[in-house]
Amino acid sequence: MSRTISHYTMPDGRRIAYRMVEGAGPALVFLPGYMSDMAGSKASALFDWAEEHGRACMLLDYSGCGESSGDFADGTLSRWRDEVVALVEARVTGPVVLVGSSMGGWLMLLVAEALGNRVAGLVGIAAAPDFSDWGFDAAQKARLAAGETIHEDNPYGPEPTPTHARFWQDAETHRVLDGTIAIDCPVHLIHGQRDADVPWEISLRLAEALRSDAVKVTLVKDGDHRLSQTRDIALLLRILAAMPEPA
């Protein structure tokens, strides 16, 4: 994979790191999960596949993550959505397919609503919309609402995972599962049924909430949250290859 990292500067000076390969559209845009970045295995595999097949592809790091500037504690869905939208509008021509992993699967919905007709399709990988609601108990929500940062055990690293009040309070304003999500493009949701972080039923709720009728859900019975085993990534790439071309 090309290791060249470019930066896009937001109006307030934030420098958003990204990698881009030119090619045929629709361009693939990968949105990482919470505290993740473009160096992950799924993002890397997607980029390599795009290069091999002559497809345009963009990977990126949200501010406060990976190679981008900023403090993670300042990150919110609104902030990261605006970064993705600005980067796509400045660096990508034509239609895009958004690929969102976990929190990135929530963010792709917000980005898709902002980009409108430019979005040719969505692919969610263990998408986690509304986790500010179902992901915390009443005591945690009360602490977050009071402005506290909470920490939880992190199964993927030695440091506990923080949730900052600013992130949670902003996320609560972007909950989507209880209404109709005004997205009409083709959507394919992939979810492991042994996901210990995001219940697979969330993808079924998301499928129901989407206005589009062109929605498919693929459940991987023995799949975990990351869905980064070789066979899981092969499934993702097959789904991307089969996404319909924009009209």
Which residues are designated catalytic?
A: 102, 195, 225
Peptide bond into 32 cis (omega under 30): no
Six token digits for residue 199: 């219940």
Residue 196 phi, psi dihedral angles, 5° rounding:
-85, -5
Torsion over CA: 186, 126, 135, 174 (sign): negative
In DSSP notation, 101-166 reads: ETHHHHHHHHHHHHHGGGEEEEEEES--TTHHHHTS-HHHHHHHHTT--EEE--TTSSSPEEE-HH
Q: What whole-number distance in Å separates Cα of residue 96 and Cα of residue 106? A: 17
Q: What whole-number distance in Å separates Cα of residue 75 and Cα of residue 78? A: 8
Three-class DSSP category at 233: helix
Six token digits for residue 103: 């929190």
Nearest residue to 186 (alpha-carbon basis) of 21, 26, 7, 5? 26
DSSP 3: -
